[in-house]
Amino acid sequence: MPILIIIALSLNANALESFKDSLFSNENRSVIEQKNKGSFKRYRWDELEDVNGRDSIPGVVAKPERIDPEAEKQQRAVKIKYSDGEIDTYEIGNPKDASFALVFIHGANGSKDLGASDLSFGGNFNRLKSLAIRNNGVYYSPSVELPTSKDKDMFELVKHIKRNSPNSKIIFICGSAGARVCWSLAHNPEISPKIAGLIFTGGARDDVTYTGTDAFRSRLPIIFSHGSKDKLVPVSTYIDQYESILKIDPKYPVRMEIFEGGKHGTPMRNIDYKESLEWIFSHDLEQTTVQQNEKNLKVKSTN
């Protein structure tokens, strides 16, 4: 199922408070293969444990103990209007001066309801909501038309987040067809400086050369999470993308995690969002420093 999620986070963020981390963490998951100082990991994945073990109705309804009830209470439907249209979305948490904001964007044939589902994918969407409300954040789940979505909607959403939380950083979590939107944002010189990181969960690779963008030059942190048996988007496409980035910049903050035996929706179910976000936060200052150095150089060149 295609997805895109956006997260905005203030610069001084460290560890996130969360709900029942032990139920979602991959810390004790068996690692089959590891290289590049841990930036590449191939995890063991087992359907009986990772689907049946997490759901009361396998593949449909997560077990009750995986659901944070507080995350279900702060959901409301809103319409974010701008000059050329509006964004129909759910909003969870306080949007004013938020420490971070999560925005999940579904794929083709989906709607805003998918990202607001507390019970699907082993409760991992509920966990995203929980991460927001427990850390002074806000969560958005808008309806988006894919594959012909208007990039302007996402540009306006970024501006909306910045208006409400001017000191925030923005992270996109993207999957399947939703990845096209994320790559488009990364290629946009106006929007990409406002992005603090990208996470791809089973999404399509970049159709153009990401390594030629301002986002790449500013060392925007990226995580690729994929199932090895994904039939819609072969895992080899992202291994190639991961390796192409490191070939040009061996110290680039990029990670590749593969769930061996996992399918197209596996990363959405099994990625540890809390750990992934904290990893990006740890590289956020580095990216901000690069951007500031580039601004200083431009100022000097005009003097």
CA nearest neighbour of 197 among 96, 102, 297, 89: 102
Digit-coded pLDDT (tens) for 222-275: 999 999 999 999 999 999 999 999 999 999 999 999 999 999 999 999 999 999
Tokens coding 151: 């990039």
Which amino acid is located at 191 in the chain? I
Pairwise CA distance, residues 19 & 22, whole Å: 9
Radius of gyration of the chain (CA): 18
DSSP structure string for 233-282: S-HHHHHHHHHHHHHH-TT--EEEEEEET--TTHHHHH--HHHHHHHHHH
Catalogue all structural domains in the chain, each as residue range(s) with its CATH number.
Answer: 3-302 (3.40.50.1820)
pLDDT band at 4 (very low <50, low <70, confident <90, very high): low
Q: By mean pLDDT, which of 17-26, 95-104, 127-136 is the weakest? A: 95-104
E strand or H helix at 4 = strand 3-10
- Across 7-21, average pLDDT: 69
Average pLDDT, the chain: 87
Pairwise CA distance, residues 221 & 225, whole Å: 13
pLDDT over 60 at 302, yes or no: no
Instruction: Report yes or no: 269 and 123 within 8 Å, Cβ to Cβ.
Output: no
pLDDT over 50 at 296, yes or no: no
Instruction: Report yes or no: 102 and 129 within 8 Å, Cβ to Cβ.
Output: yes
pLDDT over 50 at 156, yes or no: yes
> What values do phi and psi take at 37, rounded to 5?
60, 35
The C-alpha angle with vertex 187 and arms to 82 and 287, in degrees rounded to 5, equals 100
Q: What is the pLDDT of residue 26?
A: 96
Q: What is the pLDDT of residue 297?
A: 45
292: left (phi over 0), alpha (psi -120 to 50) or beta: alpha
Three-state SS for 303? coil
Q: What is the pLDDT of residue 299?
A: 42
E strand or H helix at 170 = strand 168-175
